[in-house]
Structure 1
Amino acid sequence: MNNLTGTLYIVATPIGNLQDITQRALDIFSQVDLIAAEDTRHSGLLLSHYGIKKPFFALHDHNEQHKADLLVEKLQQGINIALISDAGTPLISDPGFHLVRKCRQVDIKVVPLPGACAAITALCASGIASDRFCFEGFLPAKTKARCDKLESLLEEQRTMIFYESTHRILDCLKDIEKVFGEDRYLVLAREITKTWETIKGDKVSALRSWLEEDPNRTKGEMVLIIEGIQKQDNNDISSQAIKALKLLVKELPLKKAAAIVAELYGYKKNELYQLGLEHLE
Structure 2
Amino acid sequence: MLYLVPTPLGNLKDITLRSLEILNLVDLILCEDTRTSSKLLQHYNIQKPLTPYHQHNEHKIVSHLADQLEAGKTMALITDAGTPGISDPAFLLVRECIKRNIRVECLPGAAAFVPALVNSGLPTNRFVFEGFIPIKKGRQTLLKQLATEERTMIFYESPMRLVKTLEDLAQYFGEVRNCSVARELTKMFEENKRGTLKEVAEYFKSKTVKGEIVLVVAGAD
State the partner residue of 1:247.
none
Bigger CA radius of gyration: 1
In the alignment, the residues of structure 2 paired with residue 92 and residue 223 of structure 1 have an alpha-carbon distance, to the nearest angstrom, of 13
State the partner residue of 2:74.
80
Structure 1: 5+ residue stretches without partners: 1-6, 231-281
Which of these residues, 89, 104, 112, is aligned with residue 110 of structure 1?
Answer: 104
Given the alignment of the two structures, is residue 224 of structure 1 paired with residue 215 of structure 2, yes or no?
A: yes
Could you say what the CA RMSD is over the residues aligned between the two structures, in angstroms?
A: 1.0
Using the size of structure 2 for normalisation, the TM-score is 0.97
State the partner residue of 2:40.
46
SS in 2 for 1:16: coil
In the alignment, the residues of structure 2 paired with residue 40 and residue 68 of structure 1 have an alpha-carbon distance, to the nearest angstrom, of 18
Displacement of 1:214 after TM fit?
A: 2.3
In the alignment, the residues of structure 2 paired with residue 101 and residue 225 of structure 1 have an alpha-carbon distance, to the nearest angstrom, of 29
1:198-217 to 2 correspondences below 5 Å: 198-215=191-208
Per-residue CA deviations over 1:91-131 (Å, capped at 9, x if unaligned) read 00000100000101111110111101001111111111111
Letter in 2 for 1:128: L
Displacement of 1:56 after TM fit?
A: 1.0
Displacement of 1:213 after TM fit?
A: 2.4
Which of these residues, 181, 185, 188, is aligned with residue 178 of structure 2?
Answer: 185
In the alignment, the residues of structure 2 paired with residue 176 and residue 131 of structure 1 have an alpha-carbon distance, to the nearest angstrom, of 22
In the alignment, the residues of structure 2 paired with residue 181 and residue 68 of structure 1 have an alpha-carbon distance, to the nearest angstrom, of 43
Which of these residues, 6, 19, 23, is aligned with residue 13 of structure 2?
Answer: 19
Which of these residues, 74, 83, 88, is aligned with residue 89 of structure 1?
Answer: 83
Per-residue CA deviations over 1:39-92 (Å, capped at 9, x if unaligned) read 112111210111111111111101112211111111111100000011000000
State the partner residue of 1:161.
154
In the alignment, the residues of structure 1 paired with residue 38 and residue 206 of structure 2 have an alpha-carbon distance, to the nearest angstrom, of 38
Provide runs of 4+ in structure 1 moved above 3 Å: none
Which of these residues, 180, 192, 196, is aligned with residue 189 of structure 2?
Answer: 196
In the alignment, the residues of structure 1 paired with residue 119 and residue 165 of structure 2 have an alpha-carbon distance, to the nearest angstrom, of 22
In the alignment, the residues of structure 1 paired with residue 93 and residue 142 of structure 2 have an alpha-carbon distance, to the nearest angstrom, of 27
In the alignment, the residues of structure 2 paired with residue 160 and residue 126 of structure 1 have an alpha-carbon distance, to the nearest angstrom, of 11
SS in 1 for 2:13: helix
Q: Percent identity?
A: 48
Contact 1:182-1:203 at 8 Å conserved across structures = yes
In the alignment, the residues of structure 1 paired with residue 117 and residue 134 of structure 2 have an alpha-carbon distance, to the nearest angstrom, of 21
Higher relative contact order (CA 8 A, sep 6+): 2
Structure 2: 5+ residue stretches without partners: none
Contact 1:146-1:175 at 8 Å conserved across structures = no
Structure number with higher helix proportion:
1
